[in-house]
Structure 1
Amino acid sequence: MMTRAEGAYLGAVRAFQNPMLALLHKRHAPLVVALLSLVFTAERPTVPVADAHTEIGDALDQLRVAGHDEALPGATARELCRQWADAGWLVRHVLDDDVEVYRLSAHAVGALEVAGRAGGARARVSQSRVRTLLDAVERLSQDADPDVMVRMARLDSQIERLRGELARIQRTGTVEVVDDEQLVEEAENVLHLVRELPADFARVAESIKAMQRDVVTALRQDERPTGEVLREYLQRGEHVMESTVEGRAFAGALRLIGDPRRLEELSDQLEVILRHPFTRRLPAPRRTELREIGRRIEQGLDQVFSAQREASYVITTQVRNHDPLRDRQVDELLRDVMTGLQGWMPGSRRGHQVEPLRRLPVAEVDHLRQTPGDLRPAQPPSPLSEWDDGVPGVLPEEARAWGGPRYATLHEHLAGLAGGDGGVDVAAAFEAAPVGARRPVDLLGLLEIAHDLGMTETDEVAFVEAVRPDGTRRRFAFGAVTARTRGEDDD
């Protein structure tokens, strides 16, 4: 039988296996916390991999110059980031534009918050903190008690209290002034509550990603009928937010903070707080945290929604392209590759040459056909049916009206308008043409003819109005040109 001491010890061992406590328990924990908080901020939740390596490397160099060599590990910035990713403190992610980035895991965010609280102002037992606790207990009691009469009595008591306060304000015209010290305590309590949000949002996003990995893994190993697989996994993909405990809790909180009007009210209330003189007693970083509460909530919502969209897309794509036989073949191939690497690595050394595959294996075919089949069809194709569309080769006039330019008519029209020098303004020629030759395609035909005959461009802009066969008109603008209907040698 397990004793209480042994149970407490095993529980503590399991707790310290959590990546968040493991980060704070490491020898280089102060360095890890400092570097992660330096690179990742509320305004910069994701950092490109190359930039993170460069910035962490620069920070390590600065610490060495400052004389902190004993506190620094011997690994490079790239190796440190790889170690932190393996430990579950960093998450590598590929964006839509194929840029690979790092972001903090929920464990790392929680560790940074714990370190920040421990290194900052110590939490105090204040009126604001106790009132928050009492309000939470009262709300829990109301939600848990289904007694109608008790609920009505509580509401009557609240209404009576609010009416009394309203009557006092109407009678005196004054509002009770709260001491600045109490306001500062309440502001610190608000900031204490807000600091928990980033880790909560990160945990929700990571729970959705973990569910996504579980679904894809189960799908790749599934041998059930395709229809059953499609129904189950498409449903999970559509309702991914309800598939995890964190997701369901977030969905409940979203009903409170997801309303744009609530966020606007929150922004207005924060502006009122920041205009109050008591905020000058807060350090500048605390005032910045108050100002950024709304934006941090919006960033957290966007992080969760992005994880939800990505999970739905990945699951749906995997279901649509699901091929159990091909997936098993790929898995077997990858296992063979990993087995080969594990057998090759112990006996290899740095710079060891690898013998390349110079030719593909030859397929082992027992017998090939030596006589091809007859490619000619057994019977000739049936003759084409005749269409009774009038005289063959003659198009109806309506169809011809919607056809291309009538080059012969346009040539004659240009020649008839040529002056003594053989020049014709194309815009004027188009405007002088009959309605049937003033279609948009006829304008293109005139410009094509002018280009072939030789034309002179000017800096002016010409405007013409074309008429389609159905009577609609359209106005065009182009650089004015003059066509030469005959060369100088024709005179």
Structure 2
Amino acid sequence: MSEVVAKVDPMPSTRAEAAYQRALATFRDPTLDLLHGRFAPFVVAVLSLVFATDRPFVAVADAHAEIGEALDELRAAGYDEDDRRLPVGSAREICRQWVRGGWLAPQLEGEVEVYRLTAHAVGALEIAGRTGGGRARVSRSRVRTLLEAVDRLAMDAESDPAARLERLLNERAALDAEIERLQRDGAAPIDDEQLLEEAENVLHLSRELPADFSRVAESIKAMQRDVVAELRRDERPTGDVLREYLQRGKHVMQSTPEGRAFEGALRLLGDPERIDRLTGQLATLLAQPFSHLMAPAQRADLDAIGRQVEQGVADVLTAQRRASQIITAQVRTHDPIRDRQVDDLLRGVMSGMHAWMRVSRSSERVEPLHTLPVADVGHLRQSLSDLRPPGSPDPLSTPVDAEFVDADTRAWGGPHYAELEDYTATLGEQFDLATAFDGIEDANRRPVDLLGLLEIAHRAGMTEGEDVSVVEALRPDGTRRRFAFGSVTVQPQKEPEND
């Protein structure tokens, strides 16, 4: 029996070998795979055209049409002379390759199937755009950002209350000195070149946001897929499964490192007033004179920062909501036995396909299964027209006493017809129903006896009047109930005389 041995990189023995193995692992990442691929310029150009800040997802049909149009234009311009420049195939086939490569993610948006850029594709586009826009300069704002970040980290990591208090007092003294200087000398104008440098630093920081948001959303989706796959393999009691997985579905954001980091950022970004203030500040900056020194693409990127933040937060929260819904729905419909039966059925189908492929020819036709087989349950009765039983029942072996119920059960039963008929026979040919009911003894003055008396009156002949009669019935437990109905007079109808 031959053994299949997985290829595992040996432990590095030198620094050079360790560095080389780290580089190999890095280049297996889909981000660098996109940039290092055969058609990387085409992929970067088309994805940057189809997807934009205000267009994070595109309908599948629209994406195929736009990519096909871009292919036709580039081929007409002569860029397909070298087979390394443009891929072959239709736009649909190219998009499928990009999905397999981890650069596009198909999903449903409402009832429409759309494409979204994955975090790897967003990162690759950011690297390409940053490289094409020139190298980042070592500037005052860049260094200041670094120093402030290190200073904040050192302050947060400080565990000595006296040291933290001294640092805060020094910051307050510096702020008081700056306030005093501004009150005394006024604000000195800042050079446009310095403001431009600050704006470029802001753009540099903002370029990381889309990929970061996409990475958080994708980590939540990956966790959701892992949970569902693990749930299907679970053979524990359903109660234990419900408790564990509903808890994970409820706290899906805390299940990944990216989600926990995003929750901290959401405390800053989730405030609508902060987003509105950010949008207003960006609009004010674009109205300043220094903004005219920026390239049009830089101005557009600066203006889009607020929308990027809003869209990124919305994408992550949508991924969290969908993951919770999918996990909850999977738990509610979880049936380990049925899942194993489906898995066994699919494995049987695949085994049959493999066996058939070994003996079949390429042109052999397969007849599809139009209907499922019907279970053989024998002959069932098809007509209900003959309602007669197949035979008469056997006679009772002993006579049965009809008075088999106790007095309490009989008291709550139907009307006492015999007693009511004997009572009405003493009232004469004409009487008022309400008056007659009030004169009955308590045992026969139940609500059901009122109905029985009405039935007897109907058989004897009755006339309904316009007045309203009110009677009080007495239940067997002693409670009383009042009923109102149109007045009824019992009077036998005379038969018409024959001429």
Aligned CA distance change for structure 1 residues 368 and 252 (closer, same or farther; 3 Å):
same
Give the Cα separation in 2 of the matches to 1:105 and 1:396: 81
Q: Which residue of 1 aligns with 2:335?
A: 323
1:187-336 equivalent positions in 2, closer than 5 A: 187-336=199-348
Give the Cα separation in 2 of the matches to 1:395 and 1:76: 88
Aligned CA distance change for structure 1 residues 353 and 183 (closer, same or farther; 3 Å):
same
Q: Which residue of 2 aligns with 1:89?
A: 103
Give the Cα separation in 2 of the matches to 1:341 and 1:68: 43
Q: Supply the AA of the counterpart residue of 2:141.
A: S
Q: Which residue of 1 aligns with 2:40?
A: 29
Report the CA distance between 1:340 and its aligned residue. Answer: 4.0
Aligned CA distance change for structure 1 residues 338 and 62 (closer, same or farther; 3 Å):
farther
Alignment TM-score, normalising by the size of structure 2: 0.73
Report the CA distance between 1:96 and its aligned residue. Answer: 2.7
Please say which of residues 295-304 and 354-363 is displaced more in the overlay: 354-363
Q: Which residue of 2 aligns with 1:151?
A: 164
Q: Supply the AA of the counterpart residue of 1:61.
A: D
Give the Cα separation in 1 of the matches to 2:373 and 2:344: 19
Give the Cα separation in 2 of the matches to 1:49 and 1:194: 28
1:172-187 equivalent positions in 2, closer than 5 A: 172=185, 174-187=186-199
Report the CA distance between 1:76 and its aligned residue. Answer: 1.4
Report the CA distance between 1:333 and its aligned residue. Answer: 2.2
Q: Which residue of 1 aligns with 2:434?
A: none
Q: Does 1:121 align with 2:138?
A: no
Q: Does 1:357 align with 2:372?
A: no
Larger radius of gyration: 2
Q: Does 1:167 align with 2:180?
A: yes
Report the CA distance between 1:181 and its aligned residue. Answer: 0.7
Give the Cα separation in 2 of the matches to 1:144 and 1:303: 32
Q: Supply the AA of the counterpart residue of 2:125.
A: L
Gaps spanning 5+ residues in structure 2: where? 1-11, 382-388, 397-401, 416-446, 459-463, 469-499
Q: Supply the AA of the counterpart residue of 1:163.
A: D
Q: Does 1:79 align with 2:79?
A: no
Secondary structure at the counterpart of residue 324 of structure 2: helix
Report the CA distance between 1:376 and its aligned residue. Answer: 11
Report the CA distance between 1:368 and its aligned residue. Answer: 8.5
Secondary structure at the counterpart of residue 58 of structure 2: strand
Maintained 8 Å contact 2:141/2:197: yes
Give the Cα separation in 1 of the matches to 2:263 and 2:393: 65
Give the Cα separation in 2 of the matches to 1:287 and 1:269: 14
Q: Which residue of 2 aligns with 1:104?
A: 117
Aligned CA distance change for structure 1 residues 182 and 349 (closer, same or farther; 3 Å):
farther
Give the Cα separation in 2 of the matches to 1:67 and 1:316: 53
Give the Cα separation in 2 of the matches to 1:62 and 1:94: 30
Report the CA distance between 1:176 and its aligned residue. Answer: 2.2
Which whole-Å deviations, capped at 9, do the CAs of 1:338-381 have from their partners, x for residues lacking one?
3444555677788863212255446477x8999xx99999999x
Name the count of aligned residue pairs. Answer: 393
Aligned CA distance change for structure 1 residues 375 and 266 (closer, same or farther; 3 Å):
farther
Q: Which residue of 2 aligns with 1:53?
A: 64
Give the Cα separation in 2 of the matches to 1:186 and 1:375: 101
Aligned CA distance change for structure 1 residues 347 and 181 (closer, same or farther; 3 Å):
farther
Report the CA distance between 1:143 and its aligned residue. Answer: 0.5
Give the Cα separation in 2 of the matches to 1:336 and 1:178: 75
Give the Cα separation in 1 of the matches to 2:466 and 2:190: 91
Give the Cα separation in 1 of the matches to 2:48 and 2:357: 37
Give the Cα separation in 1 of the matches to 2:242 and 2:327: 10
Report the CA distance between 1:200 and its aligned residue. Answer: 0.3
Q: Does 1:41 align with 2:55?
A: no
Q: Percent identity?
A: 58
Maintained 8 Å contact 2:53/2:307: no
Tell me how large the CA RMSD over aligned residues is: 3.1
Give the Cα separation in 1 of the matches to 2:139 and 2:392: 96
Q: Which residue of 2 aligns with 1:4?
A: 15
Which whole-Å deviations, capped at 9, do the CAs of 1:428-478 have from their partners, x for residues lacking one?
xxxxxxxxxxxxxxxxxxxxxxxxxxxxxxxxxxxxxxxxxxxxxxxxxxx
Which whole-Å deviations, capped at 9, do the CAs of 1:6-60 have from their partners, x for residues lacking one?
1111111111111111111111111111111111111111111111111111110
Q: Which residue of 2 aligns with 1:485?
A: none
Report the CA distance between 1:283 and its aligned residue. Answer: 1.1
Could you tell me which of 44, 58, 65 is aligned with 2:76? 65
Give the Cα separation in 2 of the matches to 1:78 and 1:375: 72
1:366-385 equivalent positions in 2, closer than 5 A: 385=414
Give the Cα separation in 1 of the matches to 2:253 and 2:390: 61
Give the Cα separation in 2 of the matches to 1:290 and 1:397: 86
Q: Which residue of 2 aligns with 1:19?
A: 30
Aligned CA distance change for structure 1 residues 275 and 358 (closer, same or farther; 3 Å):
closer
Maintained 8 Å contact 2:54/2:307: no
Alignment TM-score, normalising by the size of structure 1: 0.74
